[in-house]
Structure 1
């Protein structure tokens, strides 16, 4: 036992500069990670999360419902892709909440989200294929990062909306379930404009129930 203690002591004496550097580096990394986490919490900004949000207008009332929410990496299956999407999301503005994804990359991001959503409704696809009674709707989806208004949490949102609704938004402002939902109405209007000029930023999907 004494030999073990002496060997350990000799090792510490011979290698203390390297060990000290490891401890300092670990402390600094932990401090910076904690600081980033606290900053994100104060800003309510979580760009490592992706929320799929269904927006509809029912009897003149705008409604927002979450379809799913996951870590970006769980959906994109690649940490580098998730990091790149977060960096792109930070480039959105008050006037343009649609994430400016390069045309060459848009399909890869959108298709990954589409696959995750489609899996949730697989039974409907099978029922339709079997000629069973189902109702099918066509939806449009794009990736956004809203910064306007009183958005409670800032995260990457895949906005789902019926294609027929997005192409024919009502002229009158709908009622809102919550005052903060006025931001989503503004986002819908900007999405409609974006779809006309940049359809490559959207993916179309059919949902059967």
Structure 2
């Protein structure tokens, strides 16, 4: 027993500085993470999350529905990719809600989003493969961060919009379910122009559902 105690004492004497240093770094990391979380909550900024948002018009009313919301790391599978996307998302403005992702990287991010959305509609693909009746609709997806002052929370949003709607938005302003939804309408107007000007910032997606 004395030998064990002596060995433990020797280990502590030889490595106490390493133990203290490791403990110090752990404490600092915890404090930084807590401070960052408090700042995000205060500013209502949650860039570590991605919201999949379906935007449509029904009977003249703009509707916004969440298809899913996940941690960015679970969608893009790479910490560096998440870091770069988060950095780009913080560069958007009220009049420029599209996240300025470099052209060479855009397909990677959008394809990751497409895979997440497509998974929800796999049943339709299997139904069509089985020769049963289905309905096919074309959508476009893009990455945005709406930062108008009336947006309650800032986060990365993967907008999902019917292609025919984005290509032919009505000239008249629609009705809104909520007053602050005018921000999404302004976003749609911007996206419609950018879809023609820079189509590489969008990715088309076919959604198949049982008829």
Which of the five TM-score ranges fits, normalised by the shorter chain? over 0.9
Count of residues paired in the alignment: 209
Q: Deviations over 1:94-121 (max 9, x none)?
A: 1101011111111111111111111110
Contact kept, 8 Å, 1:149 with 1:180, in 2: the verdict is no
Q: 1:88 to 1:42 in 2, by over 3 A?
A: same
Match for residue 121 of structure 1?
121
Q: Deviations over 1:39-98 (max 9, x none)?
A: 111111111111111000111111001111111121112222122111111111111010
Match for residue 89 of structure 2?
89
Match for residue 206 of structure 1?
206
**1:154 aligned onto 2:186:** no
TM-superposed CA distance for 1:145, in Å, is 0.8
Distance 1:108 1:19 in 2: 42
Distance 1:181 1:60 in 2: 14
The alignment yields a C-alpha RMSD, in angstroms, of 1.5
Match for residue 106 of structure 2?
106
Q: Deviations over 1:96-152 (max 9, x none)?
A: 010111111111111111111111101112223344222211111100111013212
Distance 1:148 1:107 in 2: 26
Q: TM-score, normalised by structure 1?
A: 0.93
Match for residue 73 of structure 1?
73
TM-superposed CA distance for 1:30, in Å, is 0.9
TM-superposed CA distance for 1:9, in Å, is 3.3
Structure 1: 5+ residue runs without aligned partners?
none
**1:175 aligned onto 2:175:** yes
Distance 1:99 1:42 in 2: 23
**1:31 aligned onto 2:31:** yes
